[in-house]
Amino acid sequence: MTRRPTLADVARVAGVSRATASRAINGSYGTSAAMRDRVRAVAAEIGFEPHAVARALATGRVSANRRERVEILIVDPDPAALSVKPFYSRVLTGALRAVGDRDVSLEVRRVDAPPLDDGDPPFGRLLINMAGAAGAAYARRGRTVSLGRSAPGVTFVAPDNDGGGHQAAVHLVTTGRRRIGAVFGPPTPCAQERKAGFLRVLAAAAQPVVSVDGDFTRARAYAAAKELLARDPELDAVFASCDVTAMGVLQALRETGRRVPHDVAVVGFDGSALAEAADLSSVYMPVEDEAASALHHLFDPGLPAPGRLPTTLTVRGSS
């Protein structure tokens, strides 16, 4: 049986990269009219036929009989997660930006744990908080990009979590804080990266840190902050591994009579609207850009892997 020509064949004959061939055939940005004409002519000559769904998503022309779906699959045991965690609304904002005028539906699905069934798989998936074997299994089922590091070989886009944790720690140490506590996150790659970056600075400064692991919820952070204060009543700084966590820390500090930042400085992580409203120093991560980059890669896997996006500490009144 004669092998069907592939995109790689088109790229080789046209003398361009696979990514360039994909963009030229789909009419995406980054290719000139002459390049598009040349690559499409080669494709026609060798008999290459783009996958119908991929071509429709790239051009926005989907069959009138079926709207293609992209699923945002969120693993988060908190039933109120979508309403109380700004991260998810920022993801949706970035995803909608990437979809633009394509005739594609976005579906958001929150689950307590990775689902085992996959009866009606969508065209593509954006995975959130799904690492290890579960992430790898979903990647084998179709086009998949993970927000945050997942299993080896799974395409991901993520902020520089380690660098952000490093920035927060440097800020607290260099502003004279000497009894530092931290409410870290759950055992997910992004939370562990923030924790590693933060602790590396404290270790280099030979400065002890009291810490509690949290779960990115305000209630757990509130209890964790109370525990930190009980363990070290003279605590003069707290790093909260997300802005929602910081809200729980601030509540606990208020109730125990600690003044922020005079008695205790607080730094969060996310740079969400919560941080701005609460005058909270926070490490900003470009969530909307992460989600948009991930969706662009779903639509055109020929694009370079998204990788890491930079984080920046914004200092406000809490520190």
Are residues 277 and 238 part of one domain?
A: yes
Query: Is residue 227 domain-resident?
Result: yes
What is the pLDDT at residue 234? 95
Query: Is residue 119 domain-resident?
Result: yes
Query: Is residue 262 domain-resident?
Result: yes
Are residues 190 and 90 part of one domain?
A: no
Label residue 317 by pLDDT band (50, 70, 90): very high
CA count, 13 A, side-chain hemisphere, 300: 25
| Cα distances (angstroms) measured from residue 104 to each of 39, 88, 92, 146, 260 | 26, 19, 14, 19, 46
Query: Is residue 1 domain-resident?
Result: no
Q: What is the pLDDT of residues 71-99, one digit of tens each?
A: 999 999 998 999 999 999 999 999 999 98
Report d(CA 54, CA 57) in Å as an integer.
5
Are residues 261 and 184 part of one domain?
A: yes
Position with higher pLDDT, 129 vs 6: 129
Are residues 166 and 141 part of one domain?
A: no
The CATH number of residue 122's host domain is 3.40.50.2300
- Report whether pLDDT(68) > 80: no
Q: Please compute the mean of the pLDDT values over residues 158-184 and round it to a whole number.
A: 97
Are residues 144 and 213 part of one domain?
A: no
Are residues 248 and 142 part of one domain?
A: no
Are residues 272 and 173 part of one domain?
A: yes
Query: Is residue 197 domain-resident?
Result: yes
What is the pLDDT at residue 37? 84
Query: Is residue 315 domain-resident?
Result: no
Are residues 269 and 203 part of one domain?
A: yes
How much is the mean pLDDT over the chain? 88
What the block records as the tokens of 27 is 């009419």
Q: What is the pLDDT of residues 21-53, one digit of tens each?
A: 776 776 655 567 788 888 888 888 888 766 544
Q: Please compute the mean of the pLDDT values over residues 275-301 and round it to a whole number.
A: 94
Q: What is the pLDDT of residues 196-220, one digit of tens each?
A: 999 999 999 999 999 999 999 999 9
Query: Angle 239-236-162 (CA atoms, 0-180°, nearest 5)?
Result: 25
Are residues 228 and 85 part of one domain?
A: no
Most confident of 21-30, 128-137, 229-238: 229-238
Residue ranges of alpha helices (H) inside the chain are 7-14, 18-26, 33-46, 52-59, 81-84, 86-99, 132-141, 161-174, 189-204, 218-231, 243-255, 273-277, 287-299
In total, the chain counts a number of residues equal to 319
Query: Is residue 313 domain-resident?
Result: no
Are residues 139 and 77 part of one domain?
A: yes
- Report whether pLDDT(273) > 80: yes
Position with higher pLDDT, 110 vs 134: 110
Position with higher pLDDT, 3 vs 164: 164
Are residues 165 and 97 part of one domain?
A: no
Report d(CA 281, CA 315) in Å as an integer.
4
What is the pLDDT at residue 28? 55
Query: Is residue 302 domain-resident?
Result: yes
The count of structural domains within the chain is 3
The residue to which tokens 């802005």 are assigned: 243
Domain boundaries, position 298: 68-157+287-306
Report d(CA 178, CA 229) in Å as an integer.
14
Are residues 151 and 247 part of one domain?
A: no
What is the pLDDT at residue 278? 96
Which DSSP letter does residue 304 get?
Answer: P
